[in-house]
Chains A and B, each alone.
Chain A
Amino acid sequence: MIAPLDAVLDPVARTRGVRAVVLAAEDDGVPVHAISQTDVDAETLTALGCRLYRSARLASERAGFGASSIMHVEAEGGQVVVARAGRDAGALVLIILADGDANTGALRLVLARAATAAAEAA
Chain B
Amino acid sequence: MSDEIRRLSDALASDPASLAFVPLADALRRGGQADVALRVVLRGLERHAYNADAHDVAARIYVDMGERERAKDEWEMALKIAAGHVGALRGLGFLAFQRGDLSTAERHLRDAADRAPHDAGIRMALDRLHAMRVPESHSNGATPAPAPSRVTYAVAEPLGELLIDANGLVLAGELRDESGADVSASVGAELTGVRAEAEQALARLGLGAWRALSIDAASAAVGLAPAPNGAVTLVAAGPGTAPGLFRRHLQRARQRAVSFFEATV
Contact = CB atoms under 8 A, between A and B. Distances in A.
Given A49-B201, A74-B210, A63 B243 contact: no
A65 B204 contact: no
B241 to A, nearest CB: 13
Given A52-B197, A65-B236, A75 B209 contact: yes
A102 interface: no
A44 B207 CA distance: 13
Nearest to A73: B213
Interface string A82-122: 00000000000000010000001100100000000000000
B216 A78 contact: no
A21 B205 CA distance: 14
B139 to A, nearest CB: 32
A71 B243 contact: no
Interface residues of A, number: 35
Contacts of A75: 202, 207-211
A105 B245 CA distance: 12
B217 A51 contact: no
Main secondary structure of the interface of A (DSSP, over half): mixed
Contact of A55 (B186, B194, B218): B194
B235 interface: no
Contacts of A79: 207
A65 B217 contact: yes
Contacts of A67: 217-218
B205 A66 contact: no
A64 B197 contact: no
A48 B201 contact: yes
B243 A64 contact: no
Ranked nearest first, the 6 interchain pairs of A and B with the lowest CB-CB distance are A66-B218, A76-B208, A65-B217, A75-B207, A48-B201, A77-B207
Interface of A: 44-45, 48-49, 51-52, 55-57, 59-80, 97, 104-105, 108
28 contacts: A48-B201, A52-B198, A55-B197, A56-B215, A59-B191, A60-B190, A60-B191, A62-B186, A63-B191, A64-B183, A64-B187, A64-B219, A65-B218, A66-B218, A66-B220, A67-B217, A67-B218, A68-B215, A69-B217, A70-B215, A72-B215, A74-B212, A74-B213, A76-B208, A76-B209, A76-B211, A79-B207, A97-B205
